[in-house]
Structure 1
């Protein structure tokens, strides 16, 4: 779809009301003019963006297990974290991999960037693959409690089936890894 075609759906912001500003996210309500001239409100979560890393060690992928309060349970996820103000995604991916797992990558590259929930949030996650890893020591944030392990593709698929892996970035990572094993390309 070209820019001209997509502009016919544009919603023009008439006003913005800030509702909440936290350490990670903020919430605003925008009043918009719809393409038909009517007005509506849009609740928008603003997020600084994030990175996630498919970290491959031999024939396994590094994952972290941590408690996720919104779901009141532990989830298994790939290493990830938010971008610091002004931070480049590659630098954040290197930092998050080292902080959460202790590993550093000999090779790291961007696979793709994607929106998590474009209906109400502006979060953009940059997904990287890291290979030729060297083990080091993790340096978790003071409010971060997690276990790092390496799992096989078969274990990852089982974790998805069991609901232990349930977040979009990690499910996407598992299927990207599966494709990589089949084709050699990411």
Structure 2
């Protein structure tokens, strides 16, 4: 039974049969699939510092975004790169897919390394986002993970895969 629906997500309460035969009701959040990109320029990367209302503060993150209906992960990645950084990616290399919070959500994030970046004349940043783009070395970004400055899970996953 659907409990809630918005433009971005839905929430349902559903009965599940567990592997041992017990039946239980659970709430499942369906936010839709998303993509995240680590833009790399030589030994540097682009991260965004974005205001997140759920924590009432800023986070350092890789650019990311929700897939629109009918979009492939690659199409979404190309669109979101431009929207969040002002750069187009000449090449996207798939790094896998992660589940964000499988205890209550079916959200998947498709991960890409973005290279061959060129400035884009199209930069239609979403009107509800507050984003600053920062260029820093991959080593410095990883140190921000180590020292606890970067706490966003998708960003940590991608920096761990791409650090030199």
With the shorter chain as reference, the TM-score category is over 0.9
- Number of aligned residue pairs: 163
- The equivalent position to 2:104 in structure 1, one of 117, 120, 132, is 120
Partner of 2:154: 169
* Higher relative contact order (Cα pairs below 8 Å, separated by 6+ residues): 2
Q: Displacement of 1:52 after TM fit?
A: 0.4
Partner of 1:98: 82
> Matches of 2:21 and 2:154 in 1, distance apart?
37
Change (3 A) 1:112 1:36: closer
After superposing on structure 2, the runs of 4+ consecutive aligned residues of structure 1 that deviate more than 4 Å are none
Q: Displacement of 1:83 after TM fit?
A: 0.3
Kindly report which structure 2 residues correspond to 1:11-160, keeping only aligned pairs within 5 A, or say none: 17-137=1-121, 138-160=123-145
In terms of Rg, which structure is larger? 1
TM-score if structure 1 supplies the norm length? 0.82
TM-score if structure 2 supplies the norm length? 0.93
> Cα RMSD between the aligned structures?
1.4
- Report if aligned partners of 1:74, 1:164 keep a CA contact under 8 Å in 2: no
Change (3 A) 1:58 1:119: same
Q: Displacement of 1:162 after TM fit?
A: 4.1
Which runs of 5 or more structure 1 residues have no equivalent in the other structure?
Answer: 1-16, 182-186
SS at match of 1:53: strand
